[in-house]
Chains A and B, each alone.
Chain A
Amino acid sequence: QQQVKQSPQSLIVQKGGISIINCAYENTAFDYFPWYQQFPGKGPALLIAIRPDVSEKKEGRFTISFNKSAKQFSLHIMDSQPGDSATYFCAASIRGTYKYIFGTGTRLKVLA
């Protein structure tokens, strides 16, 4: 119940395309869902986050779509750029607690 399943494991997208990464969870107590971006040799950094009371959140080219009934959420990267090439992690947390449960990561490569 504490797992967050992430797919795909790796993704190759052409420049200008849309990158889509999906995550699913079981624990309905989760109420905060951040996405982290990690470049090689660096630590993960918060990209965008959502709470389950909204179905979508957009920040620039990055959008989270959230489906509470299906217990799924996804990251969409519009107009993908080579600079977006990184590993992306979804996570889930219970508000007010300290623990993040991370997904297994998706390595995104955007071809120039």
Chain B
Amino acid sequence: DTAVSQTPKYLVTQMGNDKSIKCEQNLGHDTMYWYKQDSKKFLKIMFSYNNKELIINETVPNRFSPKSPDKAHLNLHINSLELGDSAVYFCASSYRGETNIQYFGAGTRLSVL
């Protein structure tokens, strides 16, 4: 059983399109995250939800909108895709606690043409 699963694994689309990435975790965690990893491998936090409440909202264009229907799911919708959005997007989850160990999904590679 995959602990943190993301779909799709690959996403190729044209500029200007709208796309969504879905994430589900079966670890019983209460916090979920979206990270962006650029071509230089730099990992940057975008959003985080704790019990469906947005708790981290970094400086991200408002074309990106996260949605958490429940504690086990966190989706990312991107409007009007731009070339610079091409990256690998990782979902992660954790349980609020002392160490807050984050468990990552396998990533979604988004290519905007």
B-chain residues with CB within 8 Å of residue A38 when the two chains form the complex: 41
B106 lies within 8 A of A99 (CB): no
Query: Which residues of A lie under 8 Å from residue B50 when comparing CB positions?
Result: 98
How many residues of chain B are within 8 Å of chain A by beta carbon? 28
How many residue pairs, one in A and one in B, have C-beta atoms under 8 Å apart? Answer: 65
List of B residues within 8 angstroms of A60 by Cβ: none
Contacts of A97 in B (CB 8 A): 100
Q: Which residues of B contact A104 (CB under 8 A)?
A: 40-42
Query: What is the interface size of chain A, counting residues whose CB is below 8 A from a CB of the partner?
Result: 24
In Å, the complex CA distance between A104 and B37 comes to 10
Q: Are A98 and B94 in contact (CB under 8 A)?
A: yes
Contacts of A49 in B (CB 8 A): 99, 101
Residues of B within 8 A of A62 (CB): none
A105 to B48 CA separation, bound complex (whole angstroms)? 22
Give CA–CA (A44, B41) in the complex, Å. Answer: 11
Determine the chain B residues whose CB is within 8 A of the CB of A36 once the complex forms. 104
A residues neighboring B (CB under 8 Å): 32, 34, 36, 38, 41-46, 49, 87, 89, 93, 95-100, 102, 104-105, 107
